[in-house]
Amino acid sequence: MPNEEIEASDFEANGIRTAYLINGFIRHNLTIAENDELDEWVSVNMTNQRIFENMTEGLMELHIGY
């Protein structure tokens, strides 16, 4: 059981970190290291790529008009 708790905690922490990075991407305020971290996460698999695209697609279209 302790390993399951650690894994769940790690999963939650990773999700929070990913949300932070995507939010920073949208707001254009990521550091170079954070941008690299986000790029690495997106490139891990198609699921991550789709999550990123779904979360940023509509917002990125709003920025095109500026």
List pLDDT tens digits, range 5-62. 556 677 678 889 999 999 999 999 999 999 999 999 999 999 999 999 998 987 756 5
Dihedral of the alpha carbons of 55, 4, 10, 51, in degrees to the nearest 10: -10
The closest of 53, 24, 50 to 36, measured between CA atoms, is 24
pTM of this prediction exceeds 0.85: no
